[in-house]
Structure 1
Amino acid sequence: MEKEAKSHDSLNKVSKFMKFFGGRDIYFILGLFILLGLTIFIFQKVSFIFEPLMTVITTLVGPIIVAFVAFYLFNPIINFMERYNISRLWGIIILLCAIIAGFSLIVTLLIPVVQHQIESFTKNLPNYIDEFSGKLDALSRNSFVADYYAQAQNWFQQNFSDIPKKLSDSVGNFGHKFKSFVSTITHVVVILITFPFVLFFLLKDGGKFRSYFISLMPPKFRKDTHDLIDKMNIQVGSYIQGQMIVAFCIGVLLFIGYSIIGLEYALTLASIAAVTSVVPYLGPMIAISPAIVLAAIDSPFMLLKLAIVWAAVQFLEGHFISPNIMGKTMQIHPLTIIFVLLCAGNLAGVLGVILGIPGYAIIKVAVTHLFTLFKRRYNRFYIDDAGPYEFKDDEVNIEKEN
């Protein structure tokens, strides 16, 4: 009895700080972190053993990512059909038939027009280059611009004088680059062939997959896992759906504007803008570049008209389209978006730029939820010392449910 009393007293003597971090469980957690560190260290030393596994993962990641993007686009349509007593399977079949019909219509109507404009642009490209060079020469004769032009020419010669050497090195390494190019094309073709099958089963059994994953969690964590998945679905789904609609609206508005001002290759330029506008902030800057070049070659007045059209489209997108379509679901500051795009682009290239914002949204949801749990635990142990943490409206619901 005395030993039990002493052990009970020793437990009571544990500081509030240690209780806050789990009491004696903290030693177990530290042990897990040490084992995790040792596992990562050993993995680095024998990583060659896992190369087949990494090959399998990299092969599967592409179709799964593309299928998830399509899933968030089309799942609301399937859910809408279910409300009108159309079975999920028949809804998927109807949707796939509609997609195939729409794609065939686009190929039949739009592709020939875009192809004709691209061929025309390629044919006229030497004339455009000559006109652009002539305007640069005329501009360089201006006494005000001459000094700056000379400085720019010197800078260009210093930085690009070794281009022939770089080209010869590239040609010498042509075999390796061609093999890499063929590998990339093959990977893209595999993704395009396999992702429809992944999409079909995601649309058909997505709810079952989520329920099965939640059932794998310990009962204590199933509620938090369910909440996290729901929030991630809302964040990522709203972003993908909204960004696609916004990009389509920008493409349509630019096509109308380019057609009104008489800019050549309006459909091709608007299509490029619609595709690149999927990436916020950076996409529109890339999209406007070819239009600026063509407008500058045409005339200064065309450049002015292009600026008016672009300003009008950006005004409509920023004040009417995005606020009504995207809403405030993402709740990410524009500066944060720019930093995320820059970091994701350096880490994973074009794929990182495209997936950076949805990935950040998922991480933000997880971190926010964990911080809510932290605040709830803090209130349990320290509410009498310095007052409670305050919860936002969405956090209040979590607090009440728990």
Structure 2
Amino acid sequence: MRTTGLWSERFKLLLFNNKFISFLFILLLVGLNIFVLTKIKFIFTPLLILLKTVLLPLILTGVLYYLLNPIVDFLEARKVRRAYSILVLYIVILGILALAIGTVIPLIKEQVLGLVENIPDYTRTLNLQMEQLIGSNFVNQLTSTIDIHTDELVDTISSRLTAMLNHTWSSLSGFLGALTETILAIATVPLILFYLLIDGRLLPPYILSFLPIALRNTTYRVMEEMSHQISSYIRGQIIVSFCIGFLLFIGYNVIGLDYSLVLAVIAACTSIVPYLGPAIAITPALIVASVTSPVMLLKMVVIWTLVQLIEGKFISPQIMGKSLHIHPVTIIFVILTAGNLFGLVGIILAVPGYAVLKVVVSHLFQWFKKRSGLYEISPDR
């Protein structure tokens, strides 16, 4: 009986006093909770529907808040009431939108319609150029040497081009659906944004009031760091994207490239996605330039290279800096993963979402290091 009690005490000491086993036990409990939640996910369906409904207006409101709040704070420091500052900003924004609708939008519409009408001609021209390239003497000698049939190669490339175009149109239809949701959400954004700009500073203390007093200071630091990461990324990325679009528009006009405004707008919009966005934006410009002439293609590549050098060496370091502290390879993997999981919205929100998650995980890890004692340096070292 005494032996049984002794083994029981040793088992308790091994289980509860061994920090590594305790850590594994916590991981097991977390895994069991995740497993149970996946089996009862139907309970969260109404919550997911609510989140999907309000997510887009909240995202748009958050982006505008981080863009406009510094201006409101600046005017408030100059003794201008916040309500008056917000009303003045709304009037300025409405004036800019009216100017854009009256001047810029018709030009974009005209160029978009012209580009869409010419897509079949561009496709046929590209196929002819590909056939001429494959049918040249050098390529014929090369294909005979490595035993490749030219006809099969032409058919394969044509089918791939057709599949890419079909995929592009299907993606465009999905984009148009997302655009419709965005337009509907815009109707609620001004009202939410007004109250957020007025009382946004009261939101963190209100959230902290629900937490225990011992956790409020740490939570406030985490929230402050998250807000800094998001605001730096949003303001910096939008300014960088605008600069890229503006420089490309000037460069495309200088070389006389068709549809310069549309191509520059596409480049500005896709540049919101770091690293992968410019690679996507150059595709339509390459197609238009290659169909126009080889000289135009060379000019377009030169303009694009110059703009990317200016952006990488001067614009981004000055505006973005190193605020996110995320390696470029990590950003690429995060964007690809978020795109596969959540589509277009995931691609746009991948980097700021990862930055926020990184802040939370890093603070949780620091808390775990202090509490667990697993990372303490032994006295004999």
TM range (shorter): 0.7 to 0.9
Q: Which residue of 1 aligns with 2:154?
A: 153
C-alpha separation in 2, matches of 1:305 and 1:158? 29
* Superposed counterparts of 1:327-366, under 5 Å: 327-366=321-360
Residues 60-92 of structure 1, C-alpha deviations (whole Å, 9 max, x = no match): 112112211221111111111111111111111
Q: Which runs of 5 or more residues in structure 2 are unaligned?
A: 1-8, 168-172
Gap change, CA 1:316 and 1:56, over 3 Å in 2: same
2:308 is the alignment partner of 1:314: yes
- Identity among equivalent positions (%) equals 41
Match of 1:294 among 278, 288, 297: 288
- Does residue 1:136 correspond to 2:124, yes or no? no
Q: Which residue in the other structure is 1:394 paired with? A: none
Q: Distance in 2 between matches of 1:42 and 1:381?
A: 31
Q: Residue 185 and residue 123 in structure 1: after superposition, are their counterparts in 2 closer, same or farther (change >3 A)?
A: closer
1:151-179: per-residue Cα shift (whole Å, max 9, x none)?
A: 5335357879999xx99xxxxxxxxxx9x
Distance 1:271 1:42, change over 3 A: same
**Cα pair distance change 1:300/1:96, threshold 3 Å:** same
Q: Is the 8 A contact 1:20 1:381 kept in 2?
A: no
How far 1:132 moved relative to its partner? 2.9
Distance of 1:269 and 1:338 partners within structure 2: 23
**Number of residues of Structure 1 aligned to a counterpart in Structure 2:** 357
Mind listing any 5+ residue stretches in structure 1 that lack a counterpart?
1-9, 168-177, 388-402
Partner of 2:99: 105
Q: 188, 196, 208: which is aligned to 1:214?
A: 208
Show CA shifts across 1:163-220 (max 9, x none): 9xx99xxxxxxxxxx9x99986764343121222222222111111111001211111
1:2-401 alignment, distance < 5 Å: 18=17, 34=29, 43-146=37-140, 147=143, 149-156=150-157, 187-376=181-370, 382=376, 385=379
Shift of 1:257: 0.7
Aligned-partner Cα distance in 2 for 1:103–1:278: 21
Please report the RMSD computed on the Cα atoms of aligned residues, expressed in angstroms: 3.5
Residue identity in the other structure for 2:220 = H
- The residue type paired with residue 307 of structure 2 is V
Counterpart position of 2:6: none
- CA 1:210 to 1:19, structure 2 compared with 1: closer, same or farther past 3 Å? farther
Larger CA deviation: 242-251 vs 205-214 = 205-214
Aligned-partner residue type, residue 362 of structure 1: V
SS at match of 2:115: helix
Do the aligned partners of residues 371 and 127 (structure 1) sit closer, same or farther apart at CA in structure 2, a change above 3 Å counting?
closer
**Structure 2 counterpart SS, 1:198:** helix
In the TM superposition, what whole-angstrom CA distance separates every residue of 1:297-353 from its partner, at most 9, and x where no partner exists? 111111111111111001000000000000111111111111111111111111111
Normalization by structure 2: what TM-score?
A: 0.82
Query: For the structure 1 residues 246 and 183, does the alpha-carbon distance in structure 2 shift closer, same or farther, using more than 3 Å as the test?
Result: closer
Superposition deviation, residue 373 in structure 1: 3.3
* Contact 2:61-2:193 at 8 Å conserved across structures: yes
Over 3 Å counting, the alpha-carbon distance change for 1:304 and 1:230 in structure 2 is same
2:4 corresponds in structure 1 to none
